[in-house]
């Protein structure tokens, strides 16, 4: 593994010339930052429009046979202002005219949307005096439109290994015939991870507008602690529960390659942010039993089935899942007991289907008057995630004590086999209160450990 770094910069980091100058200084401060992956310009303020959104709007107007000149002029102005403020000699007018002609000639939505990254990478390559490498030349999709990892890895090595530095637009690639294809929104994260894995670099840096990941949602918890290090497993669990940081699929290429991922802040480059690794260093004593992060999602429904001797009935779980499959419904969790089984489902998946599903479950599972099936809506799931939780007696007890002290009732419990993730179901009205209670309990416990006081003295579970 080399000492080289792949650095990806998001839309907020590249929203205007001032932000791009910060990016330029960050890149020049470390010569190991050889391969730079960039997004399209993002919002400059909350009322602003992202370039990608404007491009999608241009495509929609063309599809409706309406003029898109006014919208495209906003795109032109953004890029021209950036290029002028950075004093580049890029022939931007020519590039913009070509993109406008492509859109007018009914370019696909994917091709149209990709031009934000394409144009921004051209400008940034000129600012840095790095080579521009079109993602269409190295990120390969199959004829069916799915990402082709084998062909992509081969092309990346062939094209980039011999270059000292390069700027690559994120978000898109192409099929062998040149057709542009895109990843899901936020796909520049994935582009960066793919390049990092193919080149086996020392580190993949993801630069954004926050100094790493936070232990809890700052809109719920005031000034939550920053997570300084964590494993890919923990990141996966927290991302699944809605932590908005990095495109979820971007984790896999670098995780499989064992490449550390560092999330850093373009506006505070001296902050180390959050380092995510495959195998972590041993936890310090004050972190054992303390969650790495607390996150949650709202709007779930729990369907509970009670049937005597359920455990002796072969294929009972299969019958339940088959009903869901036949109704195109996926489930999130399925906790069970000897005579009970529950399925946790996103509410939106049950819209217009609930009564049909309940009727099918009664029939398929052969429920009679002695059995029962009930529904509980407006349930929120809260995940408490941490690799040190399994090694500390009393961790789960502290979790439930925190909720009891906050007068929050637990409606469901689901714990993974690794004991690194405990998921609780609470009423949606208690969602924010529950997260605050859990956070305050464990951070208070951590502070007591650091001070040398015994946590039990403050009502904590004894060691």
Paired residues of 343 in beta bridges: 303
Structure tokens of 99?
A: 């993109």
Name the CATH topology of 293-458: VC0802-like (3.30.2130)
Q: pLDDT tens digit string along 229-262?
A: 888 888 888 887 877 667 667 788 999 999 999 9
What pLDDT does residue 289 have?
A: 65
Domain 5-41+122-281 bears CATH identifier 3.40.1160.10: yes
Low-confidence ranges of the chain (pLDDT < 50): 453-463
- The boundaries of every CATH 3.30.2130.10 domain in the chain are 293-458
What pLDDT does residue 456 have?
A: 45
What pLDDT does residue 316 have?
A: 92
- The boundaries of every CATH 3.40.1160.10 domain in the chain are 5-41+122-281
């Amino acid at each position: 593994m080399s000492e080289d770094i792949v650095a990806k910069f998001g839309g907020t980091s590249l929203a205007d010339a001032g932000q791009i100058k910060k990016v330029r200084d960050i890149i020049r401060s470390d010569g190991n930052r050889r391969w730079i992956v960039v997004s399209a310009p993002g919002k400059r303020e909350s009322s602003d429009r992202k370039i990608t959104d404007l491009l999608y709007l241009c495509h929609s107007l063309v599809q409706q046979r309406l003029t898109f000149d006014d919208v495209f002029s906003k795109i032109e102005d953004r890029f021209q202002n950036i290029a002028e403020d950075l004093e580049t000699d890029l022939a931007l007018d020519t590039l913009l005219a070509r993109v406008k002609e492509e859109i007018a000639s009914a370019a696909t939505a994917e091709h149209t949307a990709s031009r934000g990254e394409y144009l921004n990478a051209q400008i940034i390559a000129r600012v840095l005096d790095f080579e521009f490498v079109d993602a269409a030349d190295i990120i390969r999709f199959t004829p069916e439109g799915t990402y082709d990892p084998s062909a992509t890895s081969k092309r990346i090595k062939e094209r980039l290994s011999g270059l000292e530095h390069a700027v690559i637009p994120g978000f898109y690639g192409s099929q062998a015939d040149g057709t542009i294809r895109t990843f899901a929104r936020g796909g520049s994260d994935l582009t960066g991870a793919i390049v990092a894995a193919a080149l086996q670099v020392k580190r993949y840096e993801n630069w954004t507008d926050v100094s790493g990941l936070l232990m809890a949602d700052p809109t719920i918890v005031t000034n939550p602690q920053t997570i300084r290090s964590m494993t890919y497993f923990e990141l996966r669990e927290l991302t699944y529960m809605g932590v908005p940081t990095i495109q979820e699929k971007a984790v896999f290429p670098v995780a499989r390659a064992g490449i550390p991922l560092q999330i850093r802040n373009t506006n505070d480059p001296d902050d180390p942010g959050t380092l995510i690794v495959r195998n972590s260093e041993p936890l310090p004593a004050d972190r054992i039993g303390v969650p790495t992060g607390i996150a949650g999602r709202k709007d779930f429904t729990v369907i509970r089935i009670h049937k005597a001797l359920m455990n002796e009935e072969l294929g009972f779980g299969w019958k339940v899942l088959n009903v869901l499959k036949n109704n195109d419904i996926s489930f999130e969790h399925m906790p069970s007991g000897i005579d009970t089984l529950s399925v946790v489902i996103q509410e939106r998946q049950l819209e217009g289907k609930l009564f049909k599903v309940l009727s099918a479950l009664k029939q398929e599972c052969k429920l009679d008057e002695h059995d029962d099936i009930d529904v509980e809506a407006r349930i929120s799931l809260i995940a408490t995630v941490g690799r040190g939780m399994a090694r500390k007696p009393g961790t789960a007890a502290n979790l439930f004590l925190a909720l009891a002290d906050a007068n929050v009732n637990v409606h469901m419990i689901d714990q993974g086999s690794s004991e690194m993730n405990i998921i609780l179901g609470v009423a949606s009205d208690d969602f924010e209160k529950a997260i605050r209670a859990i956070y305050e309990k464990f951070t208070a416990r951590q502070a007591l450990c650091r001070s040398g006081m015994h946590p039990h003295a403050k009502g904590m579970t004894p060691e």
